[in-house]
């Protein structure tokens, strides 16, 4: 596999003038547990530009999910700067954070996080109902997203009636329904078998090909290989940041 080092990030945003989708500088997160302080992120700096497909790897407990939750505006850093599409999230109150999150980000989780007894279509539609933006025909938009993940014929199935791979497809359609700029996926294939995992990576590769920015946490090298950039964490520090030639899909 060909890999080239990404040059170390400077203090200032990219010289190219383009605004990164994600920009962090000396990002730190410390949890307080009683008297103890647990330093989970110890000063992380990187930029992610629009259209990148980035895999985040690292041992269990190295702070990957913590970082993804910060990027997803689900949590706030202890110190350092985090900019999402040019907005400094440290300066936002919780309402503004929620608004930014809904407008900018689609989440995909290891355990899918679908409502079990609710249809695929209703699950995909849910973020539109919470969205501030008026959507003329939410059913049509949700159905279009289900079609994009190849599941329009399953729209009336409940999650409980779908396989793991199908549930993750529904979750991806749900993540896409608000037209986010960024997909954040935390171990999206962690609960799936190998073949189904490759199907999900085919979908991510297709989305990436269409210009979507994707940040995916995984501890599986075979899955990280589909990304074009790899960030590796150890003990709360970024220890590797490399570009790589993404693994081609089996049929390409
Ligand atoms: N809300 C929290 N409160 C206290 N400690 C936490 C919290 N979330 C995560 N941690 C701790 O932070 C460390 C990193 O967790 P996490 O980011 O989930 O790691 P990873 O996703 O890389 O496995 C772990 O030691 C975990 O126990
Ligand atoms: Mg995790």
Whether the per-residue pLDDT at 7 is higher than 50: the answer is: no
pLDDT of residue 249: 72
pLDDT band (50, 70, 90) for residue 243: very high
> Is 69 among the domain residues?
yes
Q: Which residue of 55, 66, 231, 235 sits with most ligand 1 atoms within 8 Å of its CB, as the best mutation to test the pocket?
A: 66
Q: Whose CA is nearest to atom 1 of ligand 1?
A: 31
Domain CATH code at residue 140: 3.40.50.300
* pLDDT tens digits along 134-146: 888 999 999 999 9
Q: Whose CA is nearest to atom 4 of ligand 1?
A: 31
CB 101 within 8 A of CB 74: yes
As a whole number, the mean pLDDT across the chain is 91
What six digits make up the tokens of 252?
């390409």
> Is ligand 1 within 6 A of the CB of residue 236?
no
Give the number of the atom of ligand 1 that is nearest the alpha carbon of residue 186: 21
- Prediction pTM value: 0.92
Given CA atoms 115, 118, 119, 125 in this order, what sign does their dihedral have? negative
> Which ligand is in closest contact with the Cα of 61?
1
Domain that holds residue 237: 51-76+94-244
In whole angstroms, give the CA distance from residue 213 to residue 51: 4
pLDDT of residue 129: 84
CA 250 to chain centre: 24
Q: Whose CA is nearest to atom 12 of ligand 1?
A: 40
Three-class HEC string of the chain:
CCEEECCCCCCCCCCCCCCCCEEEEEEEEEEEECCEEEEEEEEEEEEECCCCEEEEECCCCCCHHHHHHHHCCCCCCCEEEEEECCEEHHHCCHHHHHHHHHHHEEEEECCCCCCCCCEHHHHHHHHHHHCCCCCCCHHHHHHHHHHHCCCHHHCCCEHHHCCHHHHHHHHHHHHHCCCCCEEEEECCCCCCCHHHHHHHHHHHHHHHHCCCEEEEECCCHHHHCCCCEEEEEECCEEEEEEEECCCCCCCC
> Is ligand 1 within 6 A of the CB of residue 64?
yes
> Is ligand 1 within 6 A of the CB of residue 37?
no
Contacts 24+ apart (CB under 8 A), 197-203: 197/222, 197/223, 198/249, 198/250, 199/165, 200/165, 200/168, 200/169, 200/172, 201/226, 201/249, 202/249, 203/149, 203/169, 203/172
Q: Which residue of 32, 36, 38, 55 sits with most ligand 1 atoms within 8 Å of its CB, as the best mutation to test the pocket?
A: 38
Question: How far is ligand 1, taken at its centre, from the CA of residue 38, in Å?
Answer: 9
> Is 182 among the domain residues?
yes
User: Phi first, then psi: what are they for 205, rounded to 5°?
Assistant: -60, -40
> Is 46 among the domain residues?
no
Contacts of 44 by beta carbon, 8 Å cutoff, 6+ apart? 24, 26, 27, 28, 67, 80, 236, 237, 238
> Is ligand 1 within 6 A of the CB of residue 61?
yes
Domain count, the chain: 1
> Is 8 among the domain residues?
no
> Which ligand is in closest contact with the Cα of 33?
1
* pLDDT tens digits along 149-204: 999 999 999 999 999 999 999 999 999 999 999 999 999 999 999 999 999 999 99
Q: Whose CA is nearest to atom 18 of ligand 1?
A: 65
> Is 16 among the domain residues?
no
Question: How far is ligand 1, taken at its centre, from the CA of residue 70, in Å?
Answer: 12
> Is 118 among the domain residues?
yes
CB 181 within 8 A of CB 50: yes
> Is 249 among the domain residues?
no
> Is 230 among the domain residues?
yes
């Amino acid at each position: 596999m060909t890999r080239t080092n990404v040059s170390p990030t400077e203090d200032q945003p990219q010289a190219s003038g383009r605004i990164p989708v994600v920009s962090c500088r000396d990002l730190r997160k410390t949890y307080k547990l009683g008297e103890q302080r647990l330093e989970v992120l110890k000063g992380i700096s990187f930029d992610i530009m629009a259209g990148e497909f980035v895999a985040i790897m690292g041992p269990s407990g190295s702070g990957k999910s913590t970082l993804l939750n910060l990027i997803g505006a689900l949590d706030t850093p202890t110190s350092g700067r985090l900019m999402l599409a040019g907005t400094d999230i440290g300066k936002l109150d919780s309402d503004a954070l929620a608004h930014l999150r809904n407008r900018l980000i689609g989440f995909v989780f290891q355990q899918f996080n679908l409502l079990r007894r609710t249809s695929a279509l209703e699950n995909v539609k849910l973020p539109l109902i919470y969205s501030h933006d008026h959507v003329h025909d939410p059913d049509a938009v949700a159905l279009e997203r289900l079609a994009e993940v190849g599941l329009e014929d399953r729209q009336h199935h409940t999650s409980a009636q779908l396989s793991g791979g199908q549930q993750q497809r529904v979750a991806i359609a749900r993540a896409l329904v608000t037209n986010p700029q960024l997909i954040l996926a935390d171990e999206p294939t962690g609960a799936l078998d190998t073949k189904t995992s490759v199907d999900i990576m085919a979908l991510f590769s297709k989305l990436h090909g269409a210009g979507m920015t994707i940040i995916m946490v995984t501890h599986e090298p075979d899955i990280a290989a589909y990304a074009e950039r790899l960030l590796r964490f150890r003990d709360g520090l970024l220890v590797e940041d490399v570009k790589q030639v993404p693994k081609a899909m089996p049929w390409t």
